[in-house]
């Protein structure tokens, strides 16, 4: 009899997204490669404890694993965006993909009024990419400022203090992508 919920494909995708082989996943979750192979082909079903052990290695929790929600959508319309709780009238942060649990990156739109700046972000794990959609800004990395104008982009490791300041006379808008997610 086939399992009611086919988890094999989801487990395989999670494993591959973490760049793990079946053997590496098996070793880290104290299972055999053969068992992982059978799971991914839906030939067997794990106990809840075994599934939790596998998901812990993959950085996923049980609730998120079984939840079918908007985070699995391919297309997310503009009306589905939500403001981040730290948004102000001066600096607005829109979550482009709300409910982005389990993703490897977090894209946002940051809108900065003239003369304003984002809160300084201290050093953290990851990397960041941004594309200036309109306006002009200064990107501060530690104590160095990089000037950007519309169409310019940036990329940096997040292991240094950073913020963006709108030096221009017009509103600045940035498509900003952070990996791993921090918003």
3-state DSSP assignment of residue 124: coil
Contact yes or no for 156/178 (Cβ under 8 A): no
Helix boundaries (H) for 29-133: 33-40, 48-58, 62-66
DSSP state of 32: -
What does the domain layout of the chain look like in residue ranges? 8-67, 72-179
| Residue 177 burial (CB count, 10 A) | 17
User: Once rounded to an integer, what is the mean pLDDT over residues 28-54?
Assistant: 93
pLDDT tens-digit readout, 111-141: 999 999 999 998 888 999 999 999 999 999 9
3-state DSSP assignment of residue 172: strand
CATH fold group of domain 72-179: Jelly Rolls (2.60.120)
pTM for the full predicted model: 0.61
Contact yes or no for 76/70 (Cβ under 8 A): yes
3-state DSSP assignment of residue 78: helix
User: How high is the mean pLDDT of the chain?
Assistant: 88
Residue 150 in this model has a pLDDT that exceeds 90:
yes
CATH fold group of domain 8-67: 434 Repressor (Amino-terminal Domain) (1.10.260)
Q: Measure the CA–CA gap between 76 and 42, rounded to whole angstroms.
A: 30
């Amino acid at each position: 009899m086939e399992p009611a919920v086919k988890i094999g494909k989801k487990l395989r995708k999670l494993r591959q997204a973490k760049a793990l082989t079946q053997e590496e996943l098996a070793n880290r979750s104290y299972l055999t490669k053969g068992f992982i192979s059978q799971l991914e082909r839906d030939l067997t079903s794990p106990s809840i404890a075994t599934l939790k052990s596998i998901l812990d290695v993959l950085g996923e929790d049980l609730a998120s694993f079984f939840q079918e929600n908007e985070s699995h959508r391919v297309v997310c319309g503009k009306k589905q965006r939500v403001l981040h709780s730290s948004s102000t009238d001066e600096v607005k942060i829109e979550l482009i993909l709300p409910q982005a649990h389990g993703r490897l990156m977090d894209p946002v739109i940051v809108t900065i009024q003239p003369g304003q700046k984002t809160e300084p972000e201290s050093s953290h794990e990851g990397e960041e990419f941004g594309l200036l959609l309109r306006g002009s800004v200064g990107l501060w990395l530690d104590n160095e400022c990089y000037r950007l104008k519309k169409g310019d982009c940036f990329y940096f490791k997040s292991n240094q203090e950073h913020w963006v300041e709108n030096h221009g006379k017009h509103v600045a808008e940035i498509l900003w992508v952070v990996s791993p997610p921090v918003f």
